[in-house]
Each structure stands twice: as structure tokens, then as C-alpha cells.
Amino acid sequence: MFGLAKISVAAVVLVASTAAAGPSPGSHWVQQRSTPAASAGAAAAANAGALRAGVLKPVEAVLQAPRGGLVKPPPGLYANAVDLGARKAAASPVDIVLLGILSGFHIGFGGLLAVTVGGSIPAIKSANPGLQKLLFGLFGLPFGLFMVLVAGGELFTGNTALVTAALVEGKATVANLVKNWTCSWAGNLLGSVLLAKLVVAAGINAAPGTAAAIAVSKVSSPFLPTFLKGIVCNWMVCMAVWVAAGATSLTEKYLAMILPVSAFVAFGAEHSVANMFLLPLGLFSGASKSVSWQDLFVKNILPVTLGNIVGGALCQTMPYAAVYGSLLK
């Protein structure tokens, strides 16, 4: 009964021990080396002078500051988010939609894995519901987000934080932000629905009953709780994206991503892009008898999307913009 739990614990321990040991001699990971003290002092003095002269904004000083190690310090994570958001804001609508479709597929693959593994262990769910929720969170969406972060993509939920950071620092316009959010959301939706169709047509939906039950459950909650679950979810997802994007090795990216993502899944928060796959999969698996496409959008995806925006743009980005950026300064 507890074989899967042992495997998951062993995997986390292995990843943690690898991170502590650092990259192996034959590894292709690139570690940023510390700048010599003299050079670091000179760079810091130059940045301080530029700040006093008004040439650099605080975030630009962080971008140019010397750093060492595999994960950027908190000010560097904010500066990195601004840089990523600026690039996403400047991308063409076609590129954003195409990468959004890919990201919809990737998150959908994660959702399928979650349903196949964590959603298909009724004995554990009955005997130990906490363990079942942990397994549902560990095996699935972390895998999907990992593909997005490593291979590249346009994920609406993460973009709510990154492009907002660029907007705050004057690296993007409101029009850029609307373009990115709209195109990535549409691309994510298209990729997710296409994958749900593919999964059913291929006959690899191992738990159609579970998929249908998930869809029915997700459209049964009132608007406000669903909206609030969206806030909680994307606050955690954007923290995962924020930190993982500032890491330079696969190990650190994975650790930064798996902990908050598996947590939000385990305690039932709502992710709009994951639901873009899970809800159609449920409809195609039998839930259409009691759930309509209108229910899917009005009762779940709309409130979750709005909650995700608040969680990413306000809860994640704004506090760091106030401390490490130019907000309120």
C-alpha cells in the first residue's frame, strides 16, 4: 500500500542530497563563480555611485551586481523576474500563442499523470486521505511545470507575476501585459483541450471515473471560495516559477518548483490552466451528463482565472516590488 509513498520520499531525499553535494565533475550544469573581492567591491561602488546619480534604478543595480552560487539572492530573483517579464511582454502574439499551446500540453500531461497515479489509489484514499493527497500532488503537476520551466513556454499563471514585475519597473506597458496575458491564456486553453481530446481518443485515460468526478466537484463550489482558491494556488505557483527561474541547475529548479506546487495540489487550491485540461477531460469521460461547457467556464475557469491574477500580480509581485524594486519609492 505504501510502495508509492516510499518511492516519493526516496526521490525527494535523492534530489536533496544531490543539491547538497553540488554538480558532479562530468555534469553539464553551469555554476556561477564568485567574483573576486576586489572586483566585487569595485562593482558595488560603481553601482552605488550610479544610484546616487540617478543613472540606475534599484532593480538595474541588482541586475549588474556580482553574484555567486546556483540560486540568486532575493533581490536578484526580483530583478530576474523583471527581465523575464520584459522579454515575455515584448514577444509577438503568434509566438506567445504557440508557446502557450505547448505549455497547455505540458501542464495537461502533468494533470493526466496526477489522475493516473494519485487519482487511482482508492484504498489509500480511504485509509489515509492525507497520503493520497500528497501523492496526487507529487506525481503530476510538478512534472508539467518542470517541462514548462526547463523547455520554455508561456504559462498564463506564471506570467501574471513576471509581466507585472516588468510593468512596475517600466519595462513593459499595460498593452504589453494585456497582450501577453490574453494570448498565453488562449494558447493554454487550446493546448489543454486538444490534449484532453487526444488522451480520450488514444484510450490512455486510465481513470475516467475519477476524471469525471473531478470535473463535477470543481464546478460545484460557489464563486467566492473558488476565486479564493485561485488566489492561494497562484501565489504558490508564482513563487515556484520565481525561484526556479533564478536557479541555474536542474536540481535547484526542481526543488524550487516541486515543494509549492505539490503543496497547493494537496490542499485543493485551483489552477486555471490545469483545470483547462482536467475539466474537459472529465466532460469527455462522462461528466457531460451533469456538467456543461458553460458550467466549466462560468463556475470554475472564470473565478479561478481572476483569483490566479490576484495571487500572481498582487500577492507575489507587489511585495517584492515594494522592497527590491521601485514601487512606492
CATH of the domain at 214: 1.20.1080.10
Note the pLDDT of residue 30: 32
Residue 48 placed within a domain:
no
Residue 10 placed within a domain:
no
Residue 27 placed within a domain:
no
Note the pLDDT of residue 20: 43
Encode the chain (329 residues) as per-residue pLDDT tens digits. 444 444 444 444 444 444 444 443 333 333 333 343 444 445 445 554 554 555 455 555 545 544 445 788 999 999 999 999 999 999 999 999 999 999 999 999 999 988 888 777 777 777 777 777 777 777 778 888 999 999 999 999 999 999 999 999 999 999 999 999 999 999 999 999 999 999 999 999 888 998 999 999 999 999 999 999 999 999 999 999 999 999 988 888 888 888 899 888 888 899 999 999 999 999 999 998 889 999 999 999 999 999 999 999 999 999 999 999 999 88
- Residue 281 · residue 221 · CB < 8 Å: no
Q: State the total domains in the chain.
A: 1
What type of residue is 63?
L
* CA–CA distances in Å: residue 7 to residues 3, 27, 129, 226, 311: 6, 25, 18, 33, 32
Residue 77 placed within a domain:
yes
- Residue 61 · residue 127 · CB < 8 Å: no
Expressed as residue numbers, the domain containing 181 is 73-324
Whole-model pTM? 0.78
Residue 93 placed within a domain:
yes
Residue 68 placed within a domain:
no
Residue 90 placed within a domain:
yes
HSE, CB side, 13 Å, CA atoms: give it for residue 38. Answer: 0
Residue 28 placed within a domain:
no
Note the pLDDT of residue 19: 41
- Give the H/E segment covering residue 322: helix 318-324
Which residues are within 8 A (CB) of 321 and not within 5 positions of it... i.e. 6 or more apart? 78, 165, 168, 169, 327
The whole-angstrom separation of Cα 171 and Cα 155 is 19
